[in-house]
Amino acid sequence: MTATSERATATRSRSAEPRPLGNRIYGFLRSIPTWFLWILVILWTVPTFSLFVNSLRTRDAQRGSGFWNAFSDETFPTLDNYQDVLFPEVGAGLGNALLNSASIAIVATIIPIAIAAFAAYAFAWIDFRGREWLFIGTVALLAVPTQVSLIPLLSAYSTGVRWTIPIVERTITLFPDLDLSGQIPSVWLTHTGFAMPFAIFLLHNYIAGLPKDLFESAAIDGADHFKVFWRLVLPLSVPVLAAFAIFQFLWTWNDYLIALTMIGGNREALPATIVVASLAGEFGAQEHLLTSGAFVITLFPLIVFFALQRFFVRGITAGSVKG
């Protein structure tokens, strides 16, 4: 038997073997036609479109018929719902809450990026003792449920954290009483703590994949770690920084549970997500305002996403492929 026939026989035997399950699923997903995906996009857009249409209808029109009948309404379109939400005759409206949401989301996005970028560079390119175990421990914090930690954190913000040493009966302060309960800074700190593990993990994967020659050339030129980080790493890491900024901004802007737990009854500091939930009023008498309120707070995340979306895919796939 010649070498050519042996190779042909081996090729036929390999092709006769069943493909792995992962390859078959991947092949099926790639075979989905584009028109089917567009149908899914349209179906996904219908709820948002109905929300917008109903936000331009009166209370009676919303209760009387579906949004598809809006164009036959005599009062359609109307901006009264938006006026009642943003500039009500009684109360502060949604305007102050939007400012609170912006102050929470912007600061709670900048702080994790600033800290995580330094930490990710250190884990990737600074050789120090225990680096691997410290990185593993940091990433393992992703498994900590948010709901489990909120009440201990609220207690720490309210009264501080103290520990009494056994035997000697001496009490030391681990976290001072800063009286942050009911204040926006408590939301900043909480969001920063929960965002740090994911931010470090995402940024580390990207920074570790940068060419080693760049850092060796910078070291030969006498650049210290801070100069390398500021002049090389940050400019090259814009895609992944923007990708994380999108994630973090959307998470903090749409957050309800953390803000409600930390701020509580301080109505002057409540974000838009909590205020919108209370727009319906007592017994749901003003539930028609929920559509316009929800659409108003949706606009800002959309603006952020479309402004940074060109970096999104590049940042998310960073570090996933070698070579």
- CATH code assigned to 81-316: 1.10.3720.10
63, 169, 170, 175 from 166: Cα distances, Å: 65, 5, 7, 19
What is the distance of C-alpha 86 from the center of its chain? 26
Rounded to an integer, the average pLDDT of 229-257 is 85
Q: Report yes or no: 98 and 272 within 8 Å, Cβ to Cβ.
A: yes
Tell which wins on pLDDT, 313 or 172. Answer: 172
Of the pLDDT bands very low, low, confident and very high (cuts 50, 70, 90), residue 74 is: confident
Rounded to an integer, the average pLDDT of 247-268 is 85
Cα separation, 200 vs 202, in Å, equals 6
Give domain limits for the chain: 19-78, 81-316
pLDDT at 132 over 60: yes
Q: pLDDT at position 320, please?
A: 47
pLDDT at 68 over 60: yes
pLDDT at 110 over 80: yes
Of the pLDDT bands very low, low, confident and very high (cuts 50, 70, 90), residue 142 is: confident
The pTM of this model reads 0.75
Cα separation, 188 vs 179, in Å, equals 14
pLDDT at 168 over 80: no
Q: pLDDT at position 322, please?
A: 46
Q: pLDDT at position 321, please?
A: 45
